Chain A
Amino acid sequence: MTTQTLAVISTILSDPNTDWYGLELSKRSGLKPGTIYPILDRLLKAGWLERHWEDIDPAIEGRPRRRLYRLTYVGAPAARQALGEHLASLRQAEPAESFKPAHRPRLA
């Protein structure tokens, strides 16, 4: 799983009961809009996300309805597990990172 996908999952998990729309997810996760839709597409196809149209009257709100995304019953625990595993792997990597040679060899 890519770090970008993890960023999207992390954002959604920050408030799993909220419905998110694409542009907001892009802003909150710090990803470009161009990155977000293919990730959403893959998560939809994997069954981790479901989507539905916003329940508003466009005439009253003055804007078109947005398509909203939320984690499925399958996706929520799987996303937590994936994020947890990623964080655990990062924690394991920390001791190795703390070891640094006094003089780093110059790259050719």
Chain B
Amino acid sequence: MSILLVILAFTAGLAVTILRAIVADEVRGRIERRISASVEATIASLPPELRDEWADEWRAETAAAISMPVTAALLARGLRHSASQLKGDAALAPTHAHPQQHRNALKPAPERIAAAALRTLNAWIRRLDRDAIIDGLAYGIVVSFILVLFGIGIVIVGDAGVFGLLAACILFGIGVGVVVAVVGVDVDVLLVLACGALAGSIVVAGGGIIEAGVLAACGLVFATAVAAAVAVGVGDEDKEDGPQVTPAGRLRAVLEGRGDELVLTAEQAREVDAMLKSWREPPANC
């Protein structure tokens, strides 16, 4: 009997190990494929001359980093940002290669922004940078808040059965709603968080060893899903230019290294003008 148990335990252990390896390879493969697809999409979005210049280098960097999913995902995001900046630089390149020629040739389409306005713009960018840091902190705090709610939900459900479960659902509903409204993070990520937490609460409501095992599995899936979602940036591919291409990012791309006088296309000038107005004139509800 004891030999049978040892054989059974060994077989079960082996099966779990193999299964885990298969699942891990599958997840890693999917993440790598997604990252590669993201980089290829970024490269495809470049104009031909920039593509010739950067495509091979970016593919090589991605291939070298692909075994580290988080690093590779950050690189893929970064490359999207780079592509945007390089496109902005390329659009302005003739202007700055021959400033004197440009001064005579491009009137009146471009508009000039003088040094004083540039200082204002730079101050505005610094303020946006500070806000971005605060947003990042807020996101971390909110995720922690959701996890705490998850814990509270489990405790309540453990003590109060169905009513506790209901309370946990309401708490999560409020938490998710607040996060979406205040921080505006990806809804997909929040759904993963909320579904995992809710599944955990439901299982805990049943009690018992089997349910505990299922809860552990749910926790594993939950943690994996969150890690994968954060690593590959769930929902980013739905946005036109990626999450880092904010108005401030575009503005910074235009401003960096431009000296004391900035020449913009008419469209860029209108965009900058709109930004400055929105900054100087606070919303009515403030």
Q: Give chain A's interface residues, CB within 8 Å of chain B.
A: 1-2, 4-5, 21-23, 26, 32-38, 41-42, 63-67
Sample of 19 more A-B contacts, CB < 8 Å, known A34-B82, A66-B57: A5-B257, A23-B75, A26-B78, A32-B74, A33-B61, A33-B79, A34-B77, A34-B81, A34-B244, A35-B78, A35-B81, A38-B82, A38-B89, A63-B60, A63-B64, A64-B60, A65-B60, A66-B61, A67-B56
Q: A37-B86, A38-B253 are in contact. Are A23 and B77 (CB under 8 A)?
A: no
Contact status A34-B78, CB under 8 Å: yes
Checking B75, B81, B86 against A41 with a beta-carbon cut-off of 8 angstroms, the contacting residue is B86
Contact status B86-A38, CB under 8 Å: yes
Contact status A23-B65, CB under 8 Å: yes
A22 to B82, CA, bound (A): 12
Residues in chain B near residue A36, CB distance under 8 A: 78, 82
B256 beta carbon closer than 8 Å to chain A: yes
Contact status A1-B57, CB under 8 Å: no
Residues in chain B near residue A42, CB distance under 8 A: 89, 256-257
B174 beta carbon closer than 8 Å to chain A: no
A63 to B65, CA, bound (A): 10
Q: Within the complex, what minimum Cβ distance (angstroms) separates B251 from chain A?
A: 13
A32 to B249, CA, bound (A): 13
A37 to B63, CA, bound (A): 17
A2 to B255, CA, bound (A): 10
B54 beta carbon closer than 8 Å to chain A: yes
Residues in chain A near residue B60, CB distance under 8 A: 63-67
Contact status A32-B78, CB under 8 Å: yes
Question: Could you show 25 A-B contacts with beta carbons less than 8 Å apart?
Answer: A5-B256, A21-B61, A22-B61, A23-B75, A26-B78, A33-B74, A33-B78, A33-B82, A34-B81, A36-B78, A38-B85, A38-B253, A38-B256, A41-B86, A42-B257, A63-B60, A64-B60, A65-B60, A66-B57, A66-B60, A66-B61, A66-B64, A67-B56, A67-B57, A67-B60
A33 to B35, CA, bound (A): 15
Residues in chain A near residue B102, CB distance under 8 A: none
Residues in chain B near residue A64, CB distance under 8 A: 59-60, 63-64
**Which residues B57-103 have CB closer than 8 A to chain A?**
57-61, 63-65, 74-75, 77-82, 85-86, 89
Q: Within the complex, what minimum Cβ distance (angstroms) separates A9 from chain B?
A: 13
Q: Within the complex, what minimum Cβ distance (angstroms) separates B193 from chain A?
A: 25
Chain B residue with the shortest CB-CB distance to A32: B78
Residues in chain B near residue A65, CB distance under 8 A: 60
Q: A63-B64, A64-B63 are in contact. Are A22 and B89 (CB under 8 A)?
A: no
A68 to B256, CA, bound (A): 24
A64 to B60, CA, bound (A): 5
A35 to B129, CA, bound (A): 14
Q: Within the complex, what minimum Cβ distance (angstroms) separates A54 from chain B?
A: 8
Residues in chain A near residue B244, CB distance under 8 A: 34
